[in-house]
């Protein structure tokens, strides 16, 4: 999940897999695959940075688990 702040100060946590696109209008508009959209204070760059950090953390966790042999039941494709 990524954390963004609406223009009224309300905090939202969004599933990054549901983001269809980001638009700078100059606020940031986040459109989700279900058609919903949110206007937030966060910049497009900060939203992208959050997604990149999250994906990086997931990959780092996967690599750590693989190094420790905890993912031995998964095969490389």
pLDDT digits (tens, 9 = 90+) for 14-50: 999 999 999 999 999 999 999 999 999 999 999 999 9
Q: What is the mean pLDDT of residues 39-65?
A: 89
Task: Sheet containing 37-40: give its strands across.
Answer: 19-24, 28-32, 37-40
pLDDT at 69: 67
66 three-state secondary structure: helix
Q: Would you state the pLDDT for residue 60?
A: 80
d(CA 26, CA 34): 23
Could you give phi then psi for residue 33, rounded to 5 degrees? -65, -25
Please give the residue that has the higher pLDDT: either 8 or 67: 8
Q: How confident is the prediction for the chain on average, in pLDDT? A: 88
Residues in the chain: 77
Residue located via tokens 């990959």: 59
pTM comes to: 0.76
């Amino acid at each position: 999940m990524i954390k963004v702040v609406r223009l009224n100060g309300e905090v939202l946590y969004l599933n990054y897999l549901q983001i269809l696109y980001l638009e700078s209008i100059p606020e940031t508009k986040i459109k989700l695959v279900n058609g919903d959209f949110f206007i937030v204070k966060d910049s497009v760059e900060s939203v992208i940075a959050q997604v990149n950090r999250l994906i990086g953390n997931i990959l780092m966790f996967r690599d750590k688990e693989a190094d420790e042999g905890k993912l031995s039941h998964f095969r490389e494709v």
